[in-house]
Structure 1
Amino acid sequence: MSAKNTAQPKNPAFDYTKYRPFAFAPKITNRTWCDKTITKAPIWTSVDLRDGNQALIEPMSIEQKMRFFKTLVDVGFKEIEIGFPSAAQVEYDFTRQLIEGGHVPDDVTLQVLVQAREHLIRRTFESLKGARRAIVHVYNSTSKVQRDKVYQKNYDEITEIAVQGATFLRDLAKEYPETEWVFEYSPESFSQTETDFAVSVCDAVCQVWRPDLGQQVIFNLPSTVESSTPNVYADQVEYFCQNLPMRKHVIVSLHTHNDRGCAVAASELGLMAGADRIEGTLFGNGERTGNMDIMVMAMNMYSQGVNPELDFSNMSEIAQVVSECNQLPIHPRHPYVGELVFTAFSGSHQDAIKKSLDFNEKHSEETQGVWDVAYLPIDPAHIGRGYQDVVRINSQSGKGGVAYILQRDFGFNLPRWTQIDFSRVVQNEAESRQTELTSDDIITIFEKTYLQQNTLALQNYQINNDENEVTFNGKIVKNGETLAINGKGNGVLSAFVAGVSEQLGKNIHVINYAEHALTQNDVTSTDANAVSYLQLNVDGEIYSGIGTCSSTVSAMLKATLSALAQAGV
């Protein structure tokens, strides 16, 4: 049995007894959401320009809003909440500019937010004059804490506020018959409202709007403050869907926040629980810990083979617009978009990635193009990210990562035994520098270690092929001294090694040899098109060498001298 943690907090103010378990979970015994999966995209609604904007230290200018709006359209949003036009002149002006300037595509619907107060609703309808189609989103808070402590009103009084707001919307919309109106109502703080009361309030709104007679209606169920585990929120949503009398005539929408770090999970489970529509922001900007991140939820679907109906193929450009307009950085570990999310520093991870990619390339017919790579949930290239993001080298990296970079960036396909040898060199360098090594650092170390040793050099040679034997006659330069190399063997390499062994007085044997064409030599400091890898046993010790040249034979001989230089002969 493990020991119980009895540590006491250093600060007595850190007192968990001040809190109580979540109290608003509905009693639901016939839940179905836990047996479902997400198979199609919901209706997506961006609230970046309203809910996201109100949470910024410096709210967006009209110019920034316009830039952001056009990005949302490019991504594929068909419903965009653009602001709170009754609350600020800049919001009103932006709404008018969108409509009067013809910036709203025919398949995009504007959405605006307003409190359930007549003069604010009237101002809202004025701002939308001339819109082809618009969603007017009215709300009032229904939670127990707000009823008791903020408004000090009972159930009936809170319900009356909702009914009055719904009535104002219904009546004022008739003054603008040129626009196709959609009515949306949020029992704000739905997550902290008794679910049966939320159903009751929304049913009262239904009696005013009459979706059963053709009025388009959305009921939005906000997790305004995330207060429970996602499964409880899913129960609340399913209870609502099961018990709202006019459920089949309305769209049920979700709007989750991230106070517990579970906004995406809550929306995913809520979608399984019966919701049709999702509100959120790109990259999760919003009050406190933020809104639900639509990009993450959409890409989660994408990674499961479900069409998200949003286009994030140009993720870096989208991220730049969002970051600049919000004036907020994007965390390097942010799912899908962060600088480091496809990066592996761990040696074992790098090795698994390299082997997976190699396998897929060699077995393309077998894999049929289906993405299945260790540690990479999606192909970075699908969202405009390069494979340069995948493997980066520090002191924790291993042979697989180093080999991957040399192959990807410079065309060197190191055999395993050379990978092991060179990874030790790289690790020592990374530990010495105490920093990450770049691709340029790796090739510099590689060339210095194997290709630019200056103790041994090949000068000239002649090869004679007899019927059963190869004779090598040539010269090498050792520390400025020219040495004659004469040897015989069953091949050029064995003849050269025999001659070198005799001249240097060393016991030398070839253990491993590999070669390949070097097709990416334009990115290295060499002008070679052939590379040879050699592993030698020199007086009982193992050394690796690499040689490059336009001639395969010369590359092989240079690799031998490279290994001998490692041996210090």
Structure 2
Amino acid sequence: MFDHRKYRRFETVRLKDRTWPDNEINKAPDWCSVDLRDGNQALINPMSVEQKTRMFTLLVKLGFKEIEVGFPSASKPDYDFVRKLVDENLIPDDVSIQVLTQAREELIKKTFDALGGVKKANVHVYNSTSVVQREQVFGMDKDEIKGIAVQGAKWVRDYAKQHPDTQWEFQYSPESYTGTEMDFAVEVCDAVIAEWQPENGQKVVINLPSTVEMSTPNVFADQVEYFCRKLKQRDQVRISLHTHNDRGCAVAAAELGVMAGADRVEGTLMGNGERTGNMDIVTMGMNLYSQGIDPELDFSDIKEIIEVVESCNEIPVSVRHPWAGELVYTAFSGSHQDAIRKSVNYHKEHNQEHWDVAYLPIDPRDISREYEAVVRINSQSGKGGVALVLERDYGIELPKWMHVPLSKVVQSAAEQQGVEVSPEVIYTLYQKHFVEVADAWTMTRYDLHTDEQQVSARFQIGDAEFSGQGAGALEALKDALSNHYQCQFEVTQFDEHAIGSGTDAKAQATVAVEVDGATEYAVAISEDTSSAALQAMLTAFGRHAVAEQRISA
């Protein structure tokens, strides 16, 4: 059943002297949102008038100046919504609404009825021109198909004259453009443009739909460049693109199409649309943004955009959606986490002019994603990520040699639970395994006496009292414990630093000790440095004692 031989390679115009590969996108195209028409007609439950109004409000807030609001001749909800926008004066003066209609007189007439009183609008008329549609759906030849387009253009022109107070823009789409012979597509569009006479001031858009994505994006770019070269009145019209995502390349096709000469792009927020969807304006806009180009749309509150889109479309946005998904700035991999932590710190320390951080193509804060989501911990995470979570969420800075034992504890918990480990759980594990200490191992008092270079000390630990000697307080405590419990005891790592500043500052001591060949780690915080260091050592020794069950807890 799965037999590739039933299909054939898509063949189209091939430009030997194409110029678009050498072009760069250096400014945003004109954007037109089709969420309320193309996106809406692809929903299981089409939007209500209330949902459409909410979506329209969001699109205006984001900065769209052209918004396709519906197909008013095709359904009552679309008609009612257009009337609501006009009658309630909901359309800003700098926004032009767009409506779609087939090239049939009764539908065109109803379309203009829906738009009565609007300040400015784009009437978008279309008919299919592809080989498949001509031969298999309509049973018409090229002249008949062109005749439909020309007649539709005439009706649009004539009905617009009945509303002289409105600023009209006319748009024509040769539907299934990518499946149409290029010369025939040019011929039909030239004929339509001749009826609208843009040379006399009428604004005209020619939209080239990749109604079904049939080829790689570079082939589509060739088609766009070929069309722009051949169209008679190219300089007097705006060339628009409307790419679908059947091959997963709608954004790439639109980008290359702009490089090939297009002026305008139609699409939807998050790519909602028929079949696999429309061109995603959020993705293409953020692609520009990440290259230092103003997309002329405001995606700074991506959370609000997702909330409105999910509510109105009743379709969840993937957590892996480009730029916008919940997890796209999150690293679970240990090596990624370590690189992000180091790169972010380097960026801060060197006051970098331009963003250039490992694994983060943009600063997540630009679109309301916080750093809290950048590093999350599961069984795949590494030592640097776990330490970063403690530092980020709780202000706990640990020496690098402490990262390994901490991550082992967290990874063990992650493997046992089989799920992501939250920052709260990481903190709890840290406290339980490295900070908490039983009453029997809590130092309540110590006295130090210095005699030349020797320190004699007495320690009150729980209910017991110990004595020891050494070059300093730590060595004296080591001496006391070693002699009392008859064990080999060494401090192998030690770190101490201040927490806070001024009179409220405290000391944090972190130690690694080796008792009879076994290593334990501990952290203690106190108001003075000696107390913190002594308690950290005592906590680590006590953990070993409890674990070995040979020294009383």
Shorter-normalised TM range: over 0.9
The aligned counterpart of 1:546 is: 523
2:216 aligned with 1:229, yes or no? Answer: yes
SS across alignment from 1:537: strand
CA contact (8 A) 2:458 2:465 kept: no
- Aligned partners of 1:516, 1:245: CA distance in 2, in Å? 75
Shift of 1:252: 0.6
The aligned counterpart of 1:169 is: 156
2:511 aligned with 1:534, yes or no? Answer: yes
CA contact (8 A) 1:476 1:485 kept: no
The aligned counterpart of 2:466 is: 484
- Aligned partners of 1:219, 1:464: CA distance in 2, in Å? 92
- Aligned partners of 2:283, 2:496: CA distance in 1, in Å? 44
The aligned counterpart of 1:3 is: none
- Paired amino acid for 1:461: Y
- Paired amino acid for 1:111: Q
SS across alignment from 1:110: strand
The aligned counterpart of 2:368 is: 384
Shift of 1:508: 2.8
CA contact (8 A) 1:528 1:549 kept: no
- Structure 2 unaligned spans of 5+: 546-550
2:186 aligned with 1:199, yes or no? Answer: yes
- For each residue in 1:78-123, what CA deviation from the matched residue of structure 2 results, as whole angstroms up to 9, or x when unmatched? 1000000111111111111101101111111100000011111111
The aligned counterpart of 1:567 is: 544
**Structure 1 range deviating more: 169-178 or 506-515:** 506-515
Partner residue of 1:95 out of 82, 85, 89: 82
- Paired amino acid for 2:110: R
Shift of 1:177: 0.6
Q: 1:181 to 1:555 in 2, by over 3 A?
A: same
Q: 1:529 to 1:124 in 2, by over 3 A?
A: farther
The aligned counterpart of 2:262 is: 275
2:72 aligned with 1:85, yes or no? Answer: yes
Structure 2 length as normaliser, TM-score? 0.95
- Paired amino acid for 2:68: E
Shift of 1:185: 0.6
CA contact (8 A) 2:456 2:467 kept: no
**Structure 1 range deviating more: 164-173 or 454-463:** 454-463
- Aligned partners of 1:30, 1:262: CA distance in 2, in Å? 24
- For each residue in 1:297-316, what CA deviation from the matched residue of structure 2 results, as whole angstroms up to 9, or x when unmatched? 11111111111111111111
- Aligned partners of 1:438, 1:243: CA distance in 2, in Å? 60
- Paired amino acid for 1:229: T
- Aligned partners of 2:454, 2:157: CA distance in 1, in Å? 100
2:503 aligned with 1:515, yes or no? Answer: no
- Aligned partners of 1:314, 1:291: CA distance in 2, in Å? 22
Q: 1:486 to 1:112 in 2, by over 3 A?
A: same
Structure 1 length as normaliser, TM-score? 0.92
- Aligned partners of 1:467, 1:202: CA distance in 2, in Å? 101
CA contact (8 A) 1:528 1:548 kept: no
CA contact (8 A) 1:395 1:431 kept: yes
- Aligned partners of 1:402, 1:476: CA distance in 2, in Å? 32
- Aligned partners of 2:70, 2:325: CA distance in 1, in Å? 28
Q: 1:205 to 1:349 in 2, by over 3 A?
A: same
- Aligned partners of 1:495, 1:471: CA distance in 2, in Å? 7
CA contact (8 A) 2:454 2:469 kept: no
CA contact (8 A) 1:411 1:518 kept: no
Q: 1:465 to 1:159 in 2, by over 3 A?
A: farther
**Structure 1 range deviating more: 221-230 or 542-551:** 542-551
Q: 1:465 to 1:291 in 2, by over 3 A?
A: farther
SS across alignment from 1:357: helix
- Aligned partners of 1:278, 1:515: CA distance in 2, in Å? 59
**Structure 1 range deviating more: 113-122 or 533-542:** 533-542
- Aligned partners of 2:399, 2:158: CA distance in 1, in Å? 77
- Paired amino acid for 1:474: F
Give matches, 1:198-347, under 5 Å. Answer: 198-347=185-334
Shift of 1:330: 1.1
The aligned counterpart of 1:457 is: 442
CA contact (8 A) 1:488 1:499 kept: no
The aligned counterpart of 2:424 is: 440
The aligned counterpart of 1:493 is: 474
CA contact (8 A) 2:330 2:375 kept: yes
- Aligned partners of 1:18, 1:564: CA distance in 2, in Å? 74
- Aligned partners of 1:517, 1:56: CA distance in 2, in Å? 58
CA contact (8 A) 1:296 1:335 kept: yes
- Aligned partners of 1:469, 1:186: CA distance in 2, in Å? 93
The aligned counterpart of 1:21 is: 9
- Aligned partners of 1:470, 1:35: CA distance in 2, in Å? 77
- Paired amino acid for 1:18: K
The aligned counterpart of 1:8 is: none
The aligned counterpart of 1:116 is: 103
Shift of 1:448: 0.4
2:62 aligned with 1:75, yes or no? Answer: yes
- For each residue in 1:146-199, what CA deviation from the matched residue of structure 2 results, as whole angstroms up to 9, or x when unmatched? 011001111111111111111111111111010110011111111111122111
- For each residue in 1:266-313, what CA deviation from the matched residue of structure 2 results, as whole angstroms up to 9, or x when unmatched? 111111111111100000111111111100111111111111111111
SS across alignment from 2:448: strand
Partner residue of 1:428 out of 412, 417, 437: 412
- For each residue in 1:22-55, what CA deviation from the matched residue of structure 2 results, as whole angstroms up to 9, or x when unmatched? 02x2121121111122211111110000000001
2:384 aligned with 1:405, yes or no? Answer: no
SS across alignment from 1:331: coil
- Aligned partners of 2:487, 2:89: CA distance in 1, in Å? 84
- Aligned partners of 1:437, 1:246: CA distance in 2, in Å? 62
Shift of 1:510: 2.7
- Aligned partners of 2:300, 2:496: CA distance in 1, in Å? 38
- Aligned partners of 1:528, 1:397: CA distance in 2, in Å? 33
- Paired amino acid for 1:378: I
Q: 1:482 to 1:217 in 2, by over 3 A?
A: same
Shift of 1:242: 1.3
- Aligned partners of 1:463, 1:22: CA distance in 2, in Å? 88
- Aligned partners of 1:308, 1:537: CA distance in 2, in Å? 59
Give matches, 1:15-164, under 5 Å. Answer: 15-23=3-11, 25-164=12-151
The aligned counterpart of 1:506 is: 487
- For each residue in 1:241-262, what CA deviation from the matched residue of structure 2 results, as whole angstroms up to 9, or x when unmatched? 1111111111111111010111
The aligned counterpart of 2:548 is: none
